[in-house]
Amino acid sequence: MLKVFYMTFGCKVNYYETECIKSIMKQKGFEKCGSYKSADIVIINSCTVTASGDSRIFSAIRKIKNENPECIIALTGCYPQAFPEEASEITDADIITGTKNKQDIPDIIIRFLEDRQHISIIEGYQKNDIYDHMTCTEFPDNTRAFVKIQDGCNCFCSYCIIPYARGRIRSKSPDILKNEISGIAESGVREIVLSGINLAFYGKEYDLTLADAVEICCNTDGIERVRLGSLEPEMMTDSQLERLSAQEKFCPQFHLSLQSGCDRTLKAMNRKYTSSEYAGLVSRIRNKFPICNITTDIMVGFPDETDEDFRRSAEFVRSMDFGKIHVFRYSRRKGTVADRMPNQICDSVKSERWHIMNHIGINSQKKFLESRVGMTLPVLFEREKNPDFHNGYTPDYAYIKIPEKNFRKSLRNSIFYVRIIDSTSDYCTGQIIK
Ligand code: SF4
C-alpha cells in the first residue's frame, strides 16, 4: 500500500478539500502517513493569496525533493491555477493540477503510476461552471468541522488574486449539504463552521441564502453549534440577521472582513461598502445579538495609502471595538489591478503601520475578553493542549481555560456552562457550573 503525506496551505476551504481528497485516496487503497520523509507520494494543496505564500510552496518542494528524492510530488490548488506558466516550470512536481476537479487527483495519481510521465492539467474557469460536489464526513479534530459550501468570487477586489484562482461564485446543493451534515453529526462532531471563498454569496443558483445553509445545519440532530467563516459585509442583510437570531444553535461570531477604515482606500480596493455602511451593519448586528463578537481582517500599506488615510483607518478600527483583528501587510500579486497602481508603499512603512494596527488589535481583544468577566456562558471543550487546564470556546468565540492540575478526565467534545471569573490579553478563566 503506497503511503501519502498531505501538505495544505492557506484557508479553511483548502483544508476541507484536503480532507475530501484524503477520504477518496483512502477508498482507493492509499495509506496516510505522518511525514514527507517516509511518503511515496506528497500532495501539496497550495495557496497564493500572498507572495510569501508562493515562496513557502517552493521551499517545501525543494525540501521534500532533497530529503526524499524518490517520492512523487503532486502540486494542486490556487498557485498553479492562478500562475499556470510559472507552475509548469516547477520540474520537481510530477503532477500539477489547479483548483478545478480536485476530486480527480487520486485517479490522476493512479494514471501517473502507470507510466511515470509528467502530468499537468490546469483547466480554465467558465462563467457557468458548477460546484464540485466533494463531501467529507471524517475530520481530524472531532469537535469542530470546517465544511465548505461555497466556491468562487465575483468581487474582484483590486488587490486580490482569488477570483483568478477560484472562478465565479457557485454553491453546494442543499440536499448534498443536508446529507453531509448528517454524516458529520453521526461521526460525533458537535460544531460546524460553514466556509467558502465568498461565503455570504451562498445559494444564489438555488434561490437560497446563507441563512438557509445555517438552518439546514441547525436542524440536524447531534449538531450543537453552527458558526460562520469569513464574511463579506455587503451581503449581511437585516432579513438574514433576523433568521440567524432565531436559531438557538447559531454562534454569534461575525468575521466581517473590513480591510480598511478609510473610504478613499476602500474605493481604491474596489470594496463594495463605505466605513459608515460598515459601522451601520456592526451596530445592527450588536442590536440583534446583545452578546456577540465581531472580528475582522485589516490590510495596511495598500498602494497610495497616505499617512492621513492610515490615521483615518486606525481611528475607525479603534472605534469598532473588534473582538479580534487579523492585520496583513499589502502583498503585490501579479495580474491584479493594485499591482499596477502607482505609489506602492515601502516595506518599512508597511511594518510601522502593521505594528500600530496590531497594537490596536491587541487592546481590542483584551477589552473584549474583559467584557466577558462575570458572564456565564456555554463552552465546547476541545482536545486539551496542556495537562493543567481544559480549554474551549464560547459561542461568541471567547477562548476559555479552566485550570485543573493533572486532570484525570478529558472534557473534550463536551459542553458545560462556565462562570467567567478573570481575563488576560488572550483568554478568560472560569469555573464550570455543575
Ligand atoms: S471578496 Fe475580494 S478579497 Fe474576498 S475573495 Fe473576493 S476578491 Fe478576494
Q: What is the pTM of this model?
A: 0.94
State residue 408's pLDDT score: 78
| Nearest atom of ligand 1 to the alpha carbon of 197 | 5
Closest C-alpha to 210, from 231, 191, 224, 189: 231
Mutate to test the pocket of ligand 1, among 232, 234, 265, 273 (most ligand atoms within 8 A of CB): 232
Burial of 342 (0-12, 13-18, 19+ CB in 10 A): exposed
Q: Is 235 in the pocket of ligand 1 (CB under 6 A)?
A: no
Judged by DSSP in three states, 159 sits in coil
Strand 376-381 and strand 389-393: pairing?
A: antiparallel
Q: What's the pLDDT score for residue 362?
A: 98
Q: Using alpha carbons only, what angle is made at residue 204 by residues 198 and 209, rounded to the nearest 5 degrees?
A: 75
Burial, 421: exposed, middle or buried (Cβ in 10 Å; 0-12, 13-18, 19+)?
exposed
The three grid cell numbers given for residue 408, joined into one nine-digit string: 484525570
Which amino acid is residue 192, in one-letter code?
Answer: I
How far is Cα 213 from Cα 194, in angstroms, rounded to an integer? 8
Question: Could you tell me the CA-to-CA distances from 90 to 39, 93, 104, 118, 407 in Å, in that order?
Answer: 20, 6, 21, 11, 50
Distances (CA, A) of 354 to 52, 88, 141, 350, 360: 16, 35, 32, 6, 10
In testing the pocket of ligand 1, which one of 49, 160, 328 has its CB within 8 Å of the most ligand atoms?
160
Report the alpha-carbon distance of residue 100 to residue 132 in Å, rounded.
8
Walking along the chain (434 residues) 10 residues at a time, the average pLDDT comes out as: 96 96 94 96 96 93 96 97 95 96 94 96 91 84 90 97 96 97 94 97 96 98 97 92 97 98 98 97 97 98 98 98 97 95 98 98 98 97 89 97 84 95 97 86
In contact, 393 and 415? CB cutoff 8 Å? no
Query: 115: buried, middle or exposed (CB in 10 Å: 19+, 13-18, 0-12)?
Result: exposed
Interhelix angle 307-319/275-288, nearest 10 degrees: 10
Asked if residue 200 has its Cβ within 6 Å of ligand 1, the reply is: no
